[in-house]
Amino acid sequence: MGEKKLGFATRAIHDGQEPEQVTGAVNVPIFLTSTYQQEEIGKHKGHEYARLTNPTRDALEESLCSLEGGTSAHVFASGMAAITAMLTMMKTGDHVVCSDNVYGGTQRVFDKVLANYGLTFTYVDTSVAENVAAAIRPETKLVHVETPTNPMMSITDIRAVADICHAKGVELSVDNTFLSPYFQQPIALGADIVMHSTTKFLNGHSDGLGGVLVCTKPEQAERFRFVQKCTGGILSPFESYLLLRGVKTLAVRMKQHDANGRAVAEFLAGHKAVKKVFYPGLADHPQHELATRQQSGFGSMLSLELGSLERANAFAKRLRLGYLAESLGGVETLICHPATMTHAAIGAEGRARLGITDGLMRISVGIEDVEDIIADLDQALAGR
């Protein structure tokens, strides 16, 4: 189809997804098989056993690789499985620098599981790039950044941190879950690995877990393929299919998420019951300028401060359209209480350090009619 690179929405629909050869089916079939017949000893059609390769999963990996602009992609059973697989690049004694405001489960697996294998972790506010430079030691192998962060929406300058990492021979991984490749391209900004909980915007329909690592180097690809084969935490063919199906509409969904996110943030910022709104698209966000430069949209994740647990719970109980639930990135509006949900694991002290109060609620603004979302939030805030 010519020399020019196809646009994002086109690639989301076509890359890795040629019509199937036998029947011409335009959708990649779900290959429900654990093994493949071989013609003779040592001769097969490219597939031996489904823990290693599966055509549905292969199609998905090609699609995600194209959208992030990497050289290969490797999907796992969840975002946490992907992060854990990434950390198998480390050896005892290696050190990792991580954003101090990451998803609570990321910090939990680092501190409560991987630290037992002799890895060490330092958490810094990566929104100040100099903090990363100061935390890197001779034994540092990886800097892991989440931007925007969960749930405080703090932004890290990916290019600045990538330059610091590369000057010191350290790799940079970026958790791109909150924006998806539609609004943020970390590899183009210098990241060595991009990871996602595909459970969120990439899937988009709250109907399947998943995780992905997108690579930029052959040795990473070799490593992650080997980890898929050795540890087996791969994504099933059915969930690979759901994710491929979700990705086809990523561009249109993200445009609507962004439009709704901006409108809801503006509404909440002007509401008397709301003490503060954390949304990079608002001009008063401390890194609004960086977000404008680094991202091609602001997305639909935002947090609001209601002042106390009682006020937060009263708001949660009054919701009619938005669901009080963990997770994010679905077509429906999802509202969570970080202190007791995503960030329960880091304890009260950890939350206090990050500014995650008992009165903080996080909203993943869905793509329902925005007037309906705002009306629901308005009635839930009434009397607060």
Q: Which residues, other chains included, contact 172 with Cβ-Cβ below 8 Å and sequence gap of 6+?
A: 142, 143, 144, 145, 158, 161, 162, 165, 166, 190, 191, 192, 193
Positions in 83-122 near ligand PLP (CB under 6 A): 103, 105-106
207 is a catalytic site residue: no
Q: How far is the CB of 309 from ligand PLP (least distance, A)?
A: 21
The verdict on 294 binding ligand PLP (CB under 6 A) reads no
36 is a catalytic site residue: no
How many residues interact with ligand PLP (rule CB under 6 A)? 14
CB nearer ligand PLP, residue 208 or residue 237:
208
CB nearer ligand PLP, residue 175 or residue 258:
175
Q: Pick the catalytic residue: 15, 51, 125, 163?
A: 51
The verdict on 199 binding ligand PLP (CB under 6 A) reads yes
CB nearer ligand PLP, residue 175 or residue 192:
175
Among 68, 146, 157, 376, binds ligand PLP (CB under 6 A): 146
Positions in 243-262 near ligand PLP (CB under 6 A): none
Q: What is the spatial distance between Cα 154 and Cα 301, in angstroms, rounded to a whole number? A: 11
Name the amino acid, one letter, at 287. Q
Among 54, 99, 107, 197, binds ligand PLP (CB under 6 A): 197
Q: How far is the CB of 25 from ligand PLP (least distance, A)?
A: 29
Cα–Cα distances in Å, from 253 out to 129, 138, 145? 32, 43, 25
Q: Pick the catalytic residue: 11, 57, 100, 103?
A: 103
Among 157, 175, 358, 376, binds ligand PLP (CB under 6 A): 175
Nearest to 280 by CA among 268, 270, 263, 292: 292
323 is a catalytic site residue: no
The verdict on 177 binding ligand PLP (CB under 6 A) reads yes
Task: Read off the tokens for 136.
Answer: 């890197």
CB nearer ligand PLP, residue 141 or residue 144:
144
Q: How far is the CB of 342 from ligand PLP (least distance, A)?
A: 6
Q: Catalytic residue numbers?
A: 51, 103, 175, 200
Q: Which residues bind ligand PLP (CB under 6 A)?
A: 78-80, 103, 105-106, 146, 150, 175, 177, 197, 199, 209, 211
